[in-house]
Structure 1
Amino acid sequence: MQVHRVFFNPPALPHDEVAETLERALGDCSYEGEAASALVGSALNDDDYEFVEHWCLQVGTRAVSGSPLLGLAGLCLGHTARRFGHLSAEAVALVHALAARAEADPADVDGRALDGLDDVKDYLHLR
């Protein structure tokens, strides 16, 4: 039996809803699925660069080891670099740190952080 998967890009949500969802997930991992959709929707569709980067930084620095939100924060910073053409020095450093953690221990940070680093390097012309 072949399984057909459907790809879905979540929409950008209102900023207050994103902030509330992410804060809740940072305190209770049972909300990580909801938070993942909120973060991805913002990274792919929100036009407020500062808001998107802020929440990627919050998630990438505050989520607990092993949380899928860590790798996702790195990936979303890669999306942000692609969409806006820049990241703060703090965000670039976080992408590198998350990717290094993913290489050292995929149980700590998943491999999406490595994809985020590839995007940052490609779109910000870093090597």
Structure 2
Amino acid sequence: MPAKEHAHLSFENPPALPHEVVVETLERALRDRSHEGEAASVLGRSALNDEDREFVEHWCVQVGTRAAPGNPLLGLAGLCLGHAARRFGYLSGEALALVESLAARAEMDPKDVDGRALDGFDDARSFLHLW
């Protein structure tokens, strides 16, 4: 009986998107919540793959400060700041304050900010050796 061949599956993160696409998508979602799904994908993709730390951090902070209470993008912004801390080993004071604030809001009211913000805060503390 012939040996079974096994396909080796691999996963590759998609490359970062052009900055103008990211900005346009996130601005649109901040104006109109019907675009949140696309914005979530774009923000996560940037946090995981874009090599421009300042750009990634800036847009995580923009989303985390401008999205309305209860918007799922708030928790994602916190999580993505945790990804940035892991990848770059640095977050600005503004970003650190925001990731801590989003986590505190998530602890107080998960309907305001979802629990992903807690994961982002844990990542920031762990990878930046803080708190």
Query: TM-score band, normalised by the shorter chain?
Result: over 0.9
Deviation at 1:69, TM superposition (A): 0.2
Cα displacement string for residues 70-115 of structure 1 (whole angstroms, at most 9, x for unaligned residues): 0000000000000000000000000000000000000000000000
CA distance in 2, matches of 1:36, 1:66: 14
Of 7-16 and 24-33, deviating more is 7-16
Deviation at residue 11 of structure 1 after TM alignment? 3.8
Residue number in structure 1 paired with 2:32 = 28
Root-mean-square deviation (CA, aligned residues, Å) is: 1.3
Between structure 1 and structure 2, the one with the greater Rg is: 2
Query: How far apart, CA to CA, are the structure 1 residues paired with 2:61 and 2:103?
Result: 14
Kept in 2: contact 1:10–1:40 (CA 8 A)? no
Give 5+ residue unaligned stretches, structure 1: 1-6
Secondary structure of 1:90's match? Answer: helix
> Which ranges in structure 2 are unaligned for 5 or more consecutive residues?
1-10
User: Which aligned runs of 4 or more in structure 1 are off by greater than 2 angstroms?
Assistant: 7-11
- TM value normalised by structure 1: 0.92
2:42 and 2:36 mapped to 1: Cα distance?
10
Preserved contact between residue 95 and residue 113 of structure 1 (Cα < 8 Å): yes
1: CA distance, partners of 2:56 / 2:106: 22
Identity %: 75
User: What count of residue pairs does the alignment treat as equivalent?
Assistant: 121
